Each structure stands twice: as structure tokens, then as C-alpha cells.
Amino acid sequence: MRKRRPALTEPQYFILAALLDGPLHGYGIIKATEQATDGRLTLAVGTLYGALERMERSGLVAADREEFVDGRPRRYYRLTEDGTGTLAEEARRMRQAAAVVTRRLGDLGTAHP
């Protein structure tokens, strides 16, 4: 049985979601996150790499490969099996939490389609 992890932060959630389509480098993750949130979440470089480092240590992501572009290293990250499971678990948790509020708002007659 997999150990239950604490809820992901919003940046962690969208970083993992960005990696669902395959390995990405940092700038690619930033752009995918902005696109997925319609620009609402813009990851600062320090936030991104700090989160990636923590998630790599906890086994949610792994370095996939490194290439050099204009003499600078570009590291690609990929989801691990544990990362995919954690992301799915968090999506279920958020869906359940949203259902509670949506249902309560409907009971109050204030729900909006």
C-alpha cells in the first residue's frame, strides 16, 4: 500500500500535470503551466527549480536527460510512477472537495452554471 502524501501545492500540482505528456525542461514546464492555468499561475524560475528538487528527492519526478544548448545544460524531467499516482490522488481529492462546495452552494440556491 502506498504511503499517503500531503496535498500538493498548486505549483507542484501543475508541474506534475505539465509532465503528463512527457519529459520537459524548465522553460517548457513554465510555459505548459501558464497555458494550463490560462496565465493565472506563472512560475518563477526559483520556485520551479526548488519544487523540482524537492519532488525529485521524494521520487515524484526524475531527471530524464540533459542536453547542451548554446553551451548551457538543459535538464529534462519526467514523471515517475509514484508522481503519476500522487497527481491522480490529488486530482481525486480536489474533485471531491469541489463537489462538497458545489453541492452546498446548490443547496443555498447560489450555484452558477
pLDDT at position 92 is: 94
pLDDT tens digits, residue range 2-61?
A: 556 678 999 999 999 999 999 999 999 999 999 999 999 999 999 999 999 999 999 999
CATH of domain 10-108: 1.10.10.10
**pTM of the entire structure?**
0.84
Amino acid at 44: A
pLDDT at position 113 is: 55
The separation between CA 21 and the C-alpha centre of its own chain, rounded to angstroms, equals: 12
pLDDT tens digits, residue range 66-81?
A: 888 888 888 999 999 9
Domain regions of the chain by residue span: 10-108
pLDDT at position 85 is: 95
Q: What distance in Å separates the CA atoms of residue 80 and residue 74, rounded to the nearest whole number?
A: 19
pLDDT at position 2 is: 53
pLDDT tens digits, residue range 42-53?
A: 999 999 999 999
